[in-house]
Amino acid sequence: MSTAIQRQNIKNQLQQLEQLFKLNRSLLSLSQPEFSTNMPIFRNNHYRTGYIDATLDFAKFGIKQSFYHLSSIRSSPVIHNNTIYFGSNSQYIHAIDANSFQEIWRFRTHKEVMCTPVIENDTLYVGSFDTYFYALNAKNGILRWKYKTNDWIYSSPLIADKYIIFGSMDGFVYCLNKYSGQLVWKYPTEHWVVSSPVLFEDSIIVGTRDRRIVSLNLQKGFVNWELRLTAPVHATACIFKYYLFVGDLGGTMFCIRAYNGQIVWKQHTNSPIFSSAAVNEHLLCFGTKQQGLFVLETKTGKNVKQLHANSAVHASPLLCNNAIVYGNDHGNILVVNTNDFATEWQTATDDKIRTSPYFYKDHIFVTGAALYKIY
């Protein structure tokens, strides 16, 4: 055997060992409770699971409080220190007291705010269709800094270490210093970036409209791996342990190894998937544009149940131990029992529900034509 071949074999073995080391580290570090952590961020945690380790009492459901607004709300609510935060199509970012439902402050941007905020250490981060990304004092709404992109910002930000990461419809994924707003790096794609980034170890993973799932190094922004699909990706990926789940506009839900981009399984739905999936050990659920809500087995992708097959579900569901809570384009908010998939409660609202329900201190909040407390 030639020296060159021997060197290549050794290099391949070292790469395999390194990959195995990273995988073992992931398996040891990612524990079940992490995936149900409730943080003031889109889809509840850095892994975007949309899952909360809670068992709901179906008898408690009903509209308890509401805060009406003059225009639609496409920003999902998040809660920090008993204050509810969300953006609205009326060009404001709102802070609402979670008990009284009285407004504490509002901050005016110059276009719609459909991005869901993230909050850390009393700083709120959010993007707007006015092309700016904002950092605000979460207590009073005073501007700390802002950063200009070249198009609308729909992607909801992710905080990791000293960085804040988000996508823009100008085709870039941005990484800023969360303290100063200075650019650290930006990664170019060939189309919009609507999907929100998800964290996996020292990488962020994001879907793009140029038909890719891409893993980027957190500190430098270089590509770890990329997976080319046959359709654009608008949905935000979620991670459970070392598996990544995301749907595309071709109607396929993918299970992908988060550390190398290899496809484990895929399930076709025959309807575009805008909804971000919710996942736990057993179930994966997500909405489709024309075929309602799908529930799959997490490990295999086998279809468990299809719910309300004639409705459009752009909204991303909330998954609990015994329930799925979600909205649809008919304006209905629904609660489904995961034991028999019976609808335990539903109510009609005045607008499409395209946001993700948020669980906070044994209560659930949803936005649509209004901010609703339903549990």
Q: What pLDDT is attached to residue 3?
A: 59
β-pair partners for 336? 324, 343
Contact criterion met (CB below 8 Å) for 278 and 245:
no
Q: What pLDDT is attached to residue 28?
A: 45
As to burial, measured by CB atoms within 10 angstroms (0-12 exposed, 13-18 middle, 19+ buried), residue 334 is: buried
Segment 81-105 shows an average pLDDT of: 97
β-pair partners for 228? 212
Q: Is the pLDDT of residue 49 over 90?
A: yes
Q: Which domains, and CATH codes, for the chain?
A: 33-373 (2.130.10.10)
**What Å distances lie between residue 17 and 20, 24, 139, 259, 373, CA to CA?**
5, 10, 48, 13, 50
* Cβ density class 49-83: b for 16+ within 10 Å, e for less: bbbbeeebeeeebeeebbbebeebbbbbbbbbeeb
Q: Is the pLDDT of residue 21 over 50?
A: no
Which helix (H) or strand (E) segment holds residue 70: the answer is: none
Q: What pLDDT is attached to residue 224?
A: 98
Q: What is the chain's mean pLDDT, rounded?
A: 93
Segment 150-177 shows an average pLDDT of: 98
Segment 260-267 shows an average pLDDT of: 98
Segment 220-231 shows an average pLDDT of: 97
Please state whether 62 falls in left (phi above 0), alpha (psi between -120 and 50) or beta: left
Segment 320-337 shows an average pLDDT of: 98
Q: What pLDDT is attached to residue 16?
A: 53
Cα(110)–Cα(304) distance, integer angstroms: 44
Segment 259-266 shows an average pLDDT of: 97
**What Å distances lie between residue 66 and 46, 101, 111, 357, 368, CA to CA?**
28, 7, 24, 14, 11
Provide the 3-class DSSP secondary structure of residue 1. Answer: coil
CA 73 to chain centre: 17
